[in-house]
A and B are shown apart, each in its own frame.
Chain A
Amino acid sequence: MSSIELVGLTKRFGDLIAVKDLDLMIEDKEFVAILGPSGCGKTTTMNMIAGIEHPTAGQVLFDGVEVQNVSARRRGVGFVFQNYAIFTHISVYKNLSFGLEVTGVPAGEIERRVADMAKLVRLTHRLEWRSSRLNVNELQRLALGRSAILGPQIFLLDEPLSNLDAAFRAEMRTELKHLQHQLQQTMVYVTHDQLEAMSMADHIAIMDLGVLQQFGTPLEVYNKPANLFVANFMGSPSMNLLPCRITDEGGEVVLDFGAGGRLMVEDESLLALCKKAARQDLVYGVRPENVTLRRGEKEGRGLSLGVNFVERIGARSIVHLGETDHEIKVLEGNQSPTKVGETLDAVAHAGASHLFDAQTGVAIR
Chain B
Amino acid sequence: MGTEAAAAVEGKAKPRTLDQQRKRLGLYMTLPAQLLLLFIVAFPLVMQLYVSLTLWSPLDGEDWYYAYKSFTWFYNYIDLVTNERLWDAIGRTVLIMAVVVPVEFLIGFGLATLFVDSFPGKRIFYSILIMPMMIVPAVAGYMFFMIFQSNGPLNQLLGIDTVWLGSPNLAMIAVMVADIWQWTPLMFLILLAGILGVPEDQLKAATLLGASWGQKFVRIVLPRMKTVIVIALVIRAVESFKLFDLMFIMTKGGPGVATETISVWIFKLTFNDLDWSYVAAIGLSILIALSVFAIIGLTVMARASKRMNADVVD
> What is A's interface to B at a CB cutoff of 8 Å?
50-52, 71-79, 81, 83, 85-87, 89-91, 94, 98-99, 102-103, 128-130, 133, 146-147, 150
Contacts and interface: CB of A to CB of B under 8 A. Distances in A.
Contact of A85 (B205, B223, B312): B205
Interface of B: 199, 201-202, 204-212, 215, 219-220, 223-224, 308-313
Contact of B311 (A87, A89, A133, A150): A133
Nearest to A103: B210
B312 A81 contact: no
A89 B224 contact: yes
Given A81-B205, A85-B199, A89-B223, A102 B312 contact: no
A284 B20 CA distance: 64
A99 B209 contact: yes
Contacts of B215: 102
Residue among A77, A79, A89, A130 with max Cβ neighbours from chain B (10 Å)? A89
A19 B245 CA distance: 57
B79 to A, nearest CB: 51
Given A52-B208, A73-B212, A102-B219, A128 B313 contact: yes
Query: DSSP class of A's interface residues: helix, strand, loop or mixed?
Result: mixed
A72 B206 CA distance: 10
A85 B204 contact: yes
B57 to A, nearest CB: 56
A102 B212 contact: yes
Given A85-B201, A102-B215, A150 B313 contact: no
13 contacts: A51-B208, A72-B208, A73-B207, A79-B205, A85-B202, A87-B205, A89-B224, A90-B223, A98-B219, A102-B215, A128-B312, A128-B313, A146-B205
Given A73-B208, A79-B204, A102-B209, 4 more contacts: A51-B208, A73-B211, A98-B219, A130-B312
A213 to B, nearest CB: 28
Contacts of B311: 129-130, 133
Contact of A52 (B204, B219, B310): B204
A146 B208 CA distance: 11
Contacts of B224: 89
A133 B309 CA distance: 9
Most buried by A among B209, B223, B311, B313: B209
B212 A87 contact: no
A90 B209 CA distance: 16
Given A83-B201, A133-B311, A98 B206 contact: yes
A89 B215 CA distance: 15
Nearest to A83: B201
A130 B312 CA distance: 6
B149 to A, nearest CB: 51
Contacts of B204: 52, 72, 79, 81, 85
A78 B311 CA distance: 28
B314 to A, nearest CB: 8
Given A102-B219, A128-B313, A87 B210 contact: no
Contact of A150 (B209, B219, B308, B310): B209
Cβ-closest 10 pairs across A and B: A99-B209, A85-B201, A85-B205, A102-B211, A91-B313, A103-B210, A79-B208, A102-B215, A130-B313, A85-B202
Contacts of B210: 73-74, 76, 99, 102-103, 150
A99 B219 CA distance: 12
A81 B308 CA distance: 25
A133 B313 CA distance: 11
A81 B200 CA distance: 11
Contacts of A99: 209-211
Contact of B312 (A72, A76, A87, A129): A129
Q: Which of A78, A86, A87, A133 neighbours the largest number of chain B CB atoms within 10 Å of its CB? A: A87
A107 to B, nearest CB: 16
B310 A147 contact: no
Contacts of B209: 98-99, 102, 146-147, 150
A51 B312 CA distance: 35
Nearest to B215: A102
B113 to A, nearest CB: 18
A86 B201 CA distance: 9
Nearest to B309: A130
B227 to A, nearest CB: 11
Contacts of B199: 85
Given A87-B220, A128-B312, A50 B206 contact: no
Contacts of B220: 87
Nearest to B223: A89
B208 A98 contact: no
A48 to B, nearest CB: 13
Given A130-B311, A130-B313, A72 B201 contact: no
Contacts of A81: 201, 204-205
Nearest to A128: B312
A76 B215 CA distance: 17
Nearest to A131: B313
Contacts of A79: 204-205, 208
Contacts of A150: 209-210
Nearest to B214: A102
Nearest to B211: A102
B304 to A, nearest CB: 13
